[in-house]
Amino acid sequence: MWPLLLPALFAGALGLRTLEPPPPVSTTRNTYEERWLDVRLDHFSAFYNDTFPMRFYYNGEFAVNNQVNNHIVIFVGGEWAISPGWVTGGLAHEFAGYIQAGVFYTEHRYYGLTRPTNDTEVSNLRYLTVDQALADLAQFIEYIKSDEFENGLYREGKVVLVGCSYAGSMATWMRLAYPHLTDAVLSDSGPLHAQTDFVEYLEKINSVLLEQGGQTCVNSIQEAVNEIVPLLSTQTGVTTISDVFNTCSPQTTNPMDSSTFFWFGITETLAYLVQYAMPGHITDACSVLTNSSESSAMRRLANYVNAHPWSQPCIRNSYSDVVAGHTNTSFDSSDSVMRLWTYQSCVEFGWFQTTNGNLHVFANAIPLEYFHQMCQDFFSLYFNSNLTESGVARTNLLFAGLSHLPDYTISVAGGADPWAPMGPTGTHESALAPVFVVPGVSHCRAIQSTENSESTELHEVKWEVMNILSEYVTGTRMSAANGVFASLALILCAVAIAA
Ligand SMILES: *[C@@H]1O[C@H](CO)[C@@H](O)[C@H](O)[C@H]1NC(C)=O
């Protein structure tokens, strides 16, 4: 089911960010419920009491009836529609089983079915900010701990937040903003430093391709780019591009269309490969990219791209078509989620993945101006570069960027995650804010269950994370029995890999 969902979810311009982390296979069945809570539309005005229904999933299988000290584990939703998989599987669910906690999954305002306004007109998007979304979570936690929810089953419980990617950033920021409501945090792959021009992203894509795919593979991509760039500026050249790559409309020589083709056709395809790579994926891709039976490097790249068409049914290459899709203000439009995430990017975070860095083979195909233009064309002329710069500065002012990690917050970074340059590393850690960097793993891998670990290191980090979380919440590490179980699982895992 999951591969079929990809085309729709990846339809947007900044597509890599709008995907729910692949939900785990349920380890328990039919134990969750979909529920709703009315939260304030504007938490920061005392004079304005309008509310909207926020969706969440709840799994109470580990809570003990007639007690008031069941703990609370919240898997935080980011810029995607929530699905029940994360209250019935994954590391948050696994940990909840050890500490006798209810498992919750909250949907971020504006995404999925949590729709505070009738549509996504610019004037209606003014309540789409991370500070409002954190305040929703604060109101949610207060509600779960009240007698109104399950007769006070969680009244004296501790609160653990687990999130990855943007939702990981949110989990960290909850501990900063609402320490009285948040006892411990696991933030996986969460970018904490807002930055307009995210040059490090494609540099990291390049370095991971080099590490895991080899020099010949990266050389082959470079050679392909060297063939493609001159073709994009002549009339006969763009005809060749349309033929070789399966573009949605005839390629033009307009620079905005060149950047659009380059983004959807090349950098996003390779970024998707790297950001979600499991062992073997990059070497498989490189065997296509370096296949000597095809002498043109451009055609070898096209063979790979056309076989991994996540922006199905063709490569989006018309900037005006992209604008048309992203200015549809219906929540049900296929580009709606990307319109919303682009809004947050333009107003709060930047994180525009340009080719302005030096350490990559993607030429200078995607300048920062491409994204500034997009902000103006999707929303209005008011959304210019000054607005983005001041929004990014505001975000770093409110949440400290990488200058301060809150206590009782565990961060995990993937050594091969292109988002890692915006998140914490060992140099940012302190006694009560440990940071684990797991070599070789991609984005959002630490939130999967301990069983679903591609390396011994990742497996061990997950157990250590659960032990530390347990210490923060209950005062002790998990029981010795769990430790034995952990080593046993490790041995079984090693046997499975050997087999
Ligand atoms: C916007 O998207 C909705 C939902 O997919 C669709 O029904 C509508 O026709 C679209 N509007 C325009 C102007 O394309």
Tens digit of each residue's pLDDT (9 = 90 or more) over 334-369: 999 999 999 999 999 999 999 999 999 999 999 999
Residue 16 scores a pLDDT above 80: no
Residues near 259 by beta carbon (within 8 Å), at least 6 away in sequence: 319, 365, 366, 367, 370
Tell me how far the alpha carbon of residue 8 lies from the centroid of ligand 1, in angstroms: 15
User: Whose alpha carbon is nearest atom 6 of ligand 1?
Assistant: 333
CA dihedral 91, 268, 338, 3 (to 10 degrees): -50
pLDDT of residue 27: 63
Find the mean pLDDT for residues 480-499: 48
Q: Model confidence over 149-207: pLDDT tens digits? A: 999 999 999 999 999 999 999 999 999 999 999 999 999 999 999 999 999 999 999 99
Identify the residue whose C-alpha is closest to ligand 1 atom 9.
333
For tokens 């959304």, name the residue. Answer: 383
- Is the link from the previous residue into 434 a cis peptide, with omega within 30 of 0? no
Whole-model pTM? 0.93
- Establish whether residue 327 lines the binding site of ligand 1, counting it when its CB lies within 6 angstroms of any ligand atom: no
Residue with tokens 């328990």: 28
Q: What pLDDT is stored for residue 22 in this prediction?
A: 83
Residue with tokens 């687990």: 162
pLDDT at site 209: 98
Q: Radius of gyration (Cα) for the chain, nearest Å?
A: 23
Nearest-5° Cα angle at 15, 218 to 7? 95
Residue 332 Cα: closest atom of ligand 1: 4
384-414: pLDDT as tens digits: 999 999 999 999 999 999 999 999 999 999 9
Ligand 1: which residue has its CA nearest to atom 3?
Answer: 333
Ligand 1 centroid–CA 52 distance in Å is 24
pLDDT-wise least confident of 8-17, 105-114, 295-304: 8-17
User: What pLDDT is stored for residue 308 in this prediction?
Assistant: 85
Q: What is the pLDDT of residue 309?
A: 66
Least confident stretch, 110-124, 128-142, 469-483: 469-483
Please tell me whether residue 416 adopts helix, strand or coil conformation: coil
Q: Which residues contact 168 (CB under 8 A, 6 or more apart)?
A: 76, 186, 187, 188, 189, 190, 411, 423
Q: Rounded to whole angstroms, how far apart are CA atoms 33 and 92?
A: 17
For residue 322, give the amino acid letter.
V
% the chain with pLDDT above 90: 88
- Ligand 1 touching residue 83 (CB < 6 A): no
Among 237, 219, 239, residue whose Cα is nearest residue 300: 219
pLDDT at 4: 31
- DSSP bridge pairs for 104: 58, 74
Q: Beta partners for 55?
A: 36
Supply the pLDDT for residue 31. 87
Q: Which residue has the higher pLDDT, 27 or 21?
A: 21
Mean pLDDT of the chain: 92
3-state helix, strand, coil in the chain (%, to 5): 45, 10, 40
User: What's residue 154's pLDDT?
Assistant: 98
Pocket test for ligand 1, best of 329, 330, 331, 339 (most atoms within 8 A of CB): 330
